[in-house]
């Protein structure tokens, strides 16, 4: 098992494969209390997935790109259903984990550096997949790259959460004049490895629709969850 001190996610998934159970990844946030991700959750089956993830997978079509594939639970399901799936992640450990599960076409890859000459019918990113944009300024850049990779009748499937509820329900102090409530920063820790702080975006449907519209993309909210979260499908106008 490889160990990269800057890859807590990958180290955790590889440790799980080596029969270390009841593992957790500690997640620090700049505006809320710390939390944990149970590592076994990263290996969930389709039946164990939230409804939003099940719905997203069920409407995938054609050649599919999975962004931030992680331990590969979404990629594995799609592969087993016969999809032509390409899975990317920036975690070396996650890539090795997927390979050990027999997932094909896995690549350690920066999404923004993908070859735009390769087109996809579906681009999918889940577990607040829109977070990869980092912040609102990064969202149009993310959407533009998706457009470059998308076939004319293709679709982008992403989920996110409207976290404005934090202000009222959890009394999070927030100055709206400084930045958008959904622009958060996180750090992950697993045993002796930890990531740098990184930006991660949560966006409400109204703001996503407006920004996508400027990128010449149509937004459809496919499903709303019970925790202020939702699944969106974006298509070319």
Residues with Cβ within 8 Å of 100's Cβ and at least 6 positions away in sequence, in order, are 17
Q: Is residue 3 part of a domain?
A: no
For residue 17, give its domain range.
8-236
Is residue 118 domain-resident? yes
Percentage of the chain beyond pLDDT 90 is 86
pLDDT for 1 equals 45
Give residue 165's pLDDT.
78
Asked whether residue 14 is assigned to any structural domain, the reply reads yes
Q: For residue 20, is pLDDT > 80? A: no
Q: Does 1 fall in a domain?
A: no
Strand pairing of 150-161 and 106-108?
unpaired
Global pTM reads 0.94
Q: Burial, 95: exposed, middle or buried (Cβ in 10 Å; 0-12, 13-18, 19+)?
A: buried
Read off the pLDDT of each residue in 3-23 and give the average, rounded to a whole number: 88
Looking at residue 164, its pLDDT comes to 83
Is residue 161 domain-resident?
yes
Q: The tokens 């499937």 sit on which residue?
A: 157
User: What is residue 71's predicted lDDT score, i.e. its pLDDT?
Assistant: 97
Domain-located, residue 115: yes
Residue % of the chain over a pLDDT of 70 = 94
pLDDT at 80 over 60: yes
How many structural domains compose the chain? 1
Average pLDDT (90-114) is 97
- Confidence check: pLDDT of 136 > 50: yes
Residue 126's pLDDT is: 98
Q: Could you give the CA distance from residue 200 to residue 183 in angstroms, rounded to a whole number?
A: 6
> How many alpha carbons fall within 13 Å on the CB side of residue 51?
8
CATH at 82: 3.40.50.150
Q: Each residue of 26-69: pLDDT tens digit?
A: 999 998 889 999 999 999 999 999 999 999 999 999 999 999 99
Tens of pLDDT, residues 152-187: 999 999 999 998 877 666 666 666 667 899 999 999
Is pLDDT at 108 greater than 90 in this prediction? yes
Residue 174: per-residue pLDDT: 63
């Amino acid at each position: 098992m490889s160990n990269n001190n800057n890859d807590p996610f990958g180290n955790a998934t590889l440790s799980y494969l080596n029969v270390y159970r009841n593992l957790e990844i500690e997640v620090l946030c700049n505006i809320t209390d710390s939390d944990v991700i149970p590592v076994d959750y990263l290996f969930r089956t389709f039946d164990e997935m939230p409804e939003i993830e099940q719905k997203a997978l069920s409407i995938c079509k054609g050649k599919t790109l999975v962004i931030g594939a992680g331990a590969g639970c979404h990629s594995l399901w799609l592969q087993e259903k016969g999809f032509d799936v390409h899975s990317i992640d920036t975690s070396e450990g996650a890539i090795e984990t997927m390979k050990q599960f027999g997932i094909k076409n896995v690549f350690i890859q920066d999404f923004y550096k993908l070859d735009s000459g390769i087109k996809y019918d579906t681009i999918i990113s889940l577990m607040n997949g829109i977070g990869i944009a980092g912040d609102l300024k990064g969202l149009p850049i993310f959407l533009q790259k998706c457009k470059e990779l998308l076939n004319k009748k293709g679709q982008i499937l992403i989920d996110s959460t409207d976290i404005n509820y934090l202000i009222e329900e959890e009394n999070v102090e927030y100055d709206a004049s400084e930045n958008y409530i959904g622009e958060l920063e996180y750090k992950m820790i697993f045993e002796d490895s930890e990531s740098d702080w990184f930006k991660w975006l949560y966006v409400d449907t109204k703001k996503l629709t407006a920004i996508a519209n400027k990128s010449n993309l149509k937004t459809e909210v496919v499903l709303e969850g019970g925790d202020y979260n939702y699944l969106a499908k974006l298509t070319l106008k």
